[in-house]
């Protein structure tokens, strides 16, 4: 049973603030401890806002996975905020109705001379220079391509419905142990041929990038800039690290895709 709860709200959204106030009062009256501003580690973090709410909380807490997460639907189109208000208002009675879903991260390792930088992302890594990205792409040591284009996007199953989808990548089911690389404006002509569509890799594969020019790159993890500069090698992998998200037991991914992206 859960007792200690942290409430994390996107204060720029009016509906999120209103929902936060209602939920806080109800949880307190139901005997839960609200641990915001204390040194007590929460059992559950409840987020109010859009999908960016979870990404901001993870970034703020250095990708801590000690607490489980619940996202409250505040009228957004996101996939991570999928719990209805009534389920939380009656959380003292309904918490056993929730199911756990593991959201695996993807990892990136950047080598720059004798320095190594490592980062996690829940949704995606976006790799792009100021101009054109020219890089050799290897998978488990085998040459895949010499990519030329605007950028490369690496996304997890969770991030497949985010920026990846806008970039032309495919939607991945949440239980698939894969990640994908999606090109942005790949060059395809008689002189250069880059993969114009996304490609998926298994959880055990390693995708490595080697520079074909001296251009500096910017790497963003879930929209946050984490690296700017030259590199000698970049490796992207499916992570063993995951966040446990709680969702309504009636949640169905296919239904959510239809509701959010088709209807």
State the CATH number of the domain containing residue 230. 2.60.200.30
Q: Which domain holds residue 94?
A: 4-103+242-262
What is the per-residue pLDDT across 49-85, written as a single tens digit (0 to 9) for each? 888 899 999 998 989 899 999 999 786 667 888 888 8
- Cα 26–chain centre separation: 30
Mean pLDDT of the 193-202 span: 92
Residues 211, 256: one domain? no
Catalytic residue positions, numbered: 51
Q: How many domains does the chain have?
A: 2
Tell me which range, 96-105, 190-199, 237-246, is most confidently predicted by mean pLDDT: 237-246
Q: Cα-atom radius of gyration of the chain, to the nearest Å? A: 20
Q: Residue for token digits 């209602």?
A: 22
Q: Residue for token digits 């395809």?
A: 188
Residue 190 pLDDT greater than 70, yes or no: no
Instruction: Provide, rounded to the nearest whole percent, the portion of the chain with pLDDT above 70.
Output: 98
**Which of 18, 238, 250, 236 has the alpha carbon at shortest distance from 138?**
236
Residues 206, 114: one domain? yes
Q: Residue for token digits 């060059």?
A: 187
Average pLDDT, the chain: 91
List C-alpha distances in Å: 151 to 135, 170, 185: 10, 17, 7
**Which of 238, 55, 128 has the alpha carbon at shortest distance from 69?**
55
Residues 98, 18: one domain? yes
Residue 157 pLDDT greater than 90, yes or no: yes
What is the per-residue pLDDT across 121-133, written as a single tens digit (0 to 9) for each? 999 999 999 889 9
Q: Dig out the tokens for 11 from the structure.
A: 């204060």
Residues 110, 233: one domain? yes
- What's the CA gap between 6 and 242, in Å, rounded? 19
CB atoms within 10 A of CB 21: 13
Residues 54, 32: one domain? yes
What confidence score (pLDDT) does residue 9 get? 92
Residues 14, 98: one domain? yes
* DSSP character string of 93-137: HHGGGEEEEEEEEEEEEEEETTEEEEEEESSEEEEEESS-EEEEE
* Kind and range of the H or E run holding 90: none
Residues 157, 187: one domain? yes
Residues 147, 216: one domain? yes
Mean pLDDT of the 228-254 span: 92
Residues 252, 192: one domain? no
- What's the CA gap between 118 and 88, in Å, rounded? 36
Check: CB of residue 89 under 8 Å from CB of residue 57: no
- What's the CA gap between 223 and 243, in Å, rounded? 18
CA atoms within 13 A on the CB side of 181: 26
- What's the CA gap between 209 and 196, in Å, rounded? 17
Check: CB of residue 207 under 8 Å from CB of residue 235: yes
Residues 114, 217: one domain? yes
**Which of 190, 187, 208 has the alpha carbon at shortest distance from 136?**
208
Residues 128, 82: one domain? no
Q: Dig out the tokens for 159 from the structure.
A: 């991030």
Could you tell me the pTM of the whole model? 0.91
* Kind and range of the H or E run holding 75: none
* Kind and range of the H or E run holding 62: none
């Amino acid at each position: 049973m859960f007792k200690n709860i942290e409430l994390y709200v996107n204060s720029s959204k009016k509906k999120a603030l209103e929902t936060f106030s209602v939920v806080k009062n109800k949880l307190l009256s139901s005997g839960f401890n609200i641990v915001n501003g204390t040194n007590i580690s929460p059992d559950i973090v409840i987020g109010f806002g859009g999908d960016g709410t979870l990404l901001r909380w993870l970034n703020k807490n250095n990708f801590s996975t000690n607490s489980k997460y619940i996202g409250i639907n505040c009228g957004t189109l996101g996939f991570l905020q999928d719990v209805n208000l009534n389920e939380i208002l009656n959380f003292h009675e309904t918490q056993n109705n929730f199911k756990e879903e593991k959201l695996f991260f993807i990892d990136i390792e950047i080598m720059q001379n004798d320095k190594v930088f490592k980062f996690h992302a829940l949704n995606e890594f976006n790799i792009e220079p100021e101009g054109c990205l020219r890089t050799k792409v290897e998978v488990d040591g085998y040459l895949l391509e010499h990519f030329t284009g605007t950028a490369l996007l690496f996304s997890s199953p969770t991030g497949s419905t985010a920026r990846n989808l806008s970039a032309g990548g495919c939607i991945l089911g949440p239980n698939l142990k894969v990640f994908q690389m999606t090109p942005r404006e790949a060059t395809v002509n008689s002189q250069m041929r880059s993969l114009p569509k996304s490609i998926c890799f298994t959880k055990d594969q390693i995708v490595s990038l080697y520079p074909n020019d001296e251009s500096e790159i910017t790497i963003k993890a879930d929209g946050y800039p984490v690296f700017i500069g030259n590199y000698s090698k970049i490796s992207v992998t499916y992570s063993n690290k995951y966040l446990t998200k709680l969702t309504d037991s009636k949640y169905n991914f296919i239904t959510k895709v239809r509701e959010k992206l088709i209807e």
